Amino acid sequence: MFRRSLVTLAALLASTAAFAQSGKVTVVTSFSKDVTDPLKKAFEKAVPGAVLEVQNRNTNAGVKFLEETRSNNQVDLFWASAPDAFEVLKAKKLLAAYKPKATGIAEKVGSYPVNDKDGFYVGFAASGYGIMWNERYVKANKLPTPKEWQDLAQAPYFDHVSISAPSRSGTTHLTIETVLQGEGWAKGWRTTKEISGNLRQVTDRSFGVPEAVNSGQVGYGIVIDFFAFSSQGAGFPVKFVYPSVTTLVPANIGIVANAPNEAGAEAFVEYLLSPAGQEALLEPTIRRLPVRPETYAKAPADYPNPFKDKNLQGLLTFNAETSEGRTAVVDTLFDQLITFQLEPLKAATKTLHEVDAALAKKPNAQASALAKEARDLIAAMPVTDAQAASPELRAAFTGGKEKGARQAELEQQWAAFAKDNYAKAKAKADEALKLAR
């Protein structure tokens, strides 16, 4: 009742004078200047009197900022890619519900619902995850062109791949989660670790990956699509591919609870969803996939269209709740098993690549068996799917009062588990290599 009357009131306000006199609208966003500047200009032109004040913070810092300043909130909108971050904000009651009035917006993009089912945030553009690479680098090093995630685990890619840590980048977290949901917990981690054995670096910023690929410091990067598209837009010699296990996830905007300028915030959301706002997404420096199907008619040739393209149909349904429930566990597992154990993991992987090469020349059953054992050791996980979502483990990361292990204790256990397994795997791989040669 109350909410409905609020919505009506808001609609009334938005449709009358409030629209014309929006004043200052403050938005915290992880989007770069290249994205925000054109939209800011267009919005201020479309809504006279409105001034969009953009505060650029990365997703995590933005969430932390809203949390720290909630006692005296000065921010109207939160605007970022990762739906996870919005789930966190929603759970902390930092968002206000709002139902947009714009029509003609797709219900789903890929197989992901565009809007939050509880109405706390709305999708305005879609993005998918994939692999980008530097053509000059690939040519100079005579490297292959990848199609699937699994390709990156092959021998030629060793030491040429880059990813950002999922604990540091909302988008990478979604990529890992997509693989885990698409292939299942055990198989998904196996794939992740096999790719990770080929990593050159794990960066601590999402943008660190396209930056390294663009400047040719690494060959391949696991990135969100618009990093690749906007790099192409800026003239860098890079290419991008969507693997078949990917998901299209909407980039979102949500109105902050107790926003000082609610009417202005709503006006901006409506603008983003309007035909003009959606068309702005096609600009070379922005390159997001609009959620308004008709907008694609104005897109340049080769522009991916999730409503038409075959390879973007029937993708995996990404479950944001599953993801949110185990975010901290997945991130910490990645850090402890991969980021901080990268050297031993790479050492074992390198030897296994050599074993494969030797076996291709001269098959040897015993060596193959040893190599398989080594791979299983690398793939082994200290916790199961069910444990990862259990309240005990969650409590360790959220500072809950329940009894259980402290986060630091878990991390020590997991790190020790990984170190031990990788050392054993390396020993087995060495043995296999001796036999195979």
Partner 1 sequence: MRRSPGQVALAAAIALFLLLFLFVPVATVVYVAFTDRAGGLTLVNFLDFARTELFVRSFWNSVYVSAMTVLWSSAFALPLAYLTTRFEFRGAMLVQTLGFLPLIMPPFVGAVAMQLLFGRNGTVNLLLDEHLGFKIGLMEGLNGVIFLQAIHYFPFILVNLSAALRNIDRSMEEAAQNLGSHGLRLFRRIALPLAMPGYVAGASLVFVKVFDDIASPLLLNVKEMLAPQAYLRITSIGIDDPMGYVISVVLIGVAVLTMWASAQVLKGKDYATTQRGGGGLARRKLRPREAVLAYAIVILILMLVLAPHLGLLLLSLATVWSFSPLPDAYTLAHYARVLGDSSLYIKNTLLYSGLAALIDVAIGGAIAYLVLRTKLPGRQALDWAASAALAVPGVVLGIGYLRAFYGVKLPDGTPLAALWIVIVLAIAVRRLPYALRACYAALQQISVSLEEAAENLGATKARTVRRIVIPLMTGGLLAGFITSFATAAVELSAVLMLVQNNSDAPLAYGLYVLMQTPAGRGAGAALGVIAVIIVALCMALSQLAADRSQRARGLEM
Q: What are the C-alpha distances in Å from 107 to residues 2, 99, 248, 252, 287?
A: 26, 13, 13, 14, 21
**Nearest to partner 1 of 80, 436 (CB atom):** 80
Phi, psi of 308 (to 5 degrees): -125, -45
Phi, psi of 388 (to 5 degrees): -60, -30
**Nearest to partner 1 of 328, 380 (CB atom):** 328
**Nearest to partner 1 of 137, 185 (CB atom):** 137
**Least gap, CB of 435 to partner 1 (angstroms):** 32
Neighbouring C-beta atoms of residue 38, cutoff 10 Å:
15
**Nearest to partner 1 of 24, 101 (CB atom):** 24
**Least gap, CB of 206 to partner 1 (angstroms):** 9
Number of residues written out for the chain:
437
**Least gap, CB of 309 to partner 1 (angstroms):** 24
DSSP character string of 23-75? EEEEEEESS-HHHHHHHHHHHHHHSTTEEEEEEE--HHHHHHHHHHTGGG---
**Least gap, CB of 23 to partner 1 (angstroms):** 14
**Nearest to partner 1 of 190, 394 (CB atom):** 394
Q: Do β-strands 122-134 and 112-113 pair in parallel, antiparallel, or remain unpaired?
A: unpaired
What's the rounded Cα separation, in Å, for the pair 389 and 385?
7
**Least gap, CB of 84 to partner 1 (angstroms):** 8
**Nearest to partner 1 of 216, 275 (CB atom):** 216
**Least gap, CB of 233 to partner 1 (angstroms):** 7
Residues with Cβ within 8 Å of residue 428, at least 6 apart in sequence: 370, 371, 373, 374, 377
